[in-house]
Chains A and B, each alone.
Chain A
Amino acid sequence: MDLSLSTRTVGDRTVVEVGGEIDVYTAPKLREQLVELVNDGSYHLVVDMERVDFLDSTGLGVLVGGLKRVRAHEGSLRLVCNQERILKIFRITGLTKVFPIHTSVDEAVAATD
């Protein structure tokens, strides 16, 4: 399965809904999307990963890169994920301490800290 991406705006947040597999082949598309959003002035991003089937370190790298970009503009990058197999990758790499991970888009959009 390929990667699917769609974006929508909720208040001052931009929600990026990602579906499919994020790997060494598809991660560049996600990177492009995040870079484009930041270049267009969207600095508060919520990446909804509920429909992601697979995530590898290349995908993690892209998310870290996105976080770096929004932080340069005092923005935020929040993740939405409830899938244990995806959460596990964030845990073993210690990235749960780096990303705020929420259980729903509503929760992520409402979060302010």
Chain B
Amino acid sequence: MATVELRFSALPEHVRTARLVAAAVARRAGVDEAVLDEVRLAVGEACSRAVGLHESHGLSAPVRVVLIEDEKKFSIEVGDEVTGSGAAAAAGGEESAGAGESDAEGEDEMGLAVISGLVDDVEVTSGEGGGRIRMSWPAHAAPILP
């Protein structure tokens, strides 16, 4: 079960909230302080991308962020509801880079580039329900005392 689950309207102003929540849960899960900036940036990129996809497809559905705390790792899943979005991204750069003349597409690719540059364990998938970016970071199970 998810430690914390967040759904927000696909609007740019809520991406910051997702970053703050993700960083707070990551800190609690024992992710290194030095890595928290990366968590914040990566989840922001994934959420910005999802918001952009929902906006460009005219979807009113919310963006879903799932934060999962395990014994040894901390995982984040960001899901959009655009069918095929993940597959297009996973199929990778060359084809879409040639076609990606518009600002929005360029930014989408840059977002994925930042995520893959930041996060060692990242997976972009696509299903009938939409695309999903899953990322994880090592976490020490050191309990944070109240």
- What is A's interface to B at a CB cutoff of 8 Å? 21, 23-25, 54, 56-58, 60-61, 65, 85, 89, 92-93
CB A31 to nearest CB in B, in angstroms, measures 9
Q: Could you say which interface size class chain B belongs to?
A: 20 to 34
22 A-B residue contacts at CB 8 Å? A21-B16, A23-B12, A23-B19, A25-B12, A25-B15, A54-B19, A54-B40, A54-B41, A54-B44, A56-B41, A56-B48, A56-B114, A57-B113, A61-B107, A61-B110, A89-B41, A92-B113, A92-B114, A92-B117, A93-B113, A93-B114, A93-B117
Classify the interface of chain B: helix, strand, loop or mixed: helix
Query: Which B residues are CB-close (under 8 A) to A23?
Result: 12, 15-16, 19, 44, 48
Distance A60 CA – B117 CA, assembled complex (angstroms)? 15
**Which residue in B16, B51, B107 is a CB contact (below 8 Å) of A57?**
B107
Residues 34-54 of B, flagged 1 when their CB comes within 8 A of A and 0 if not, give 000100110011001001100
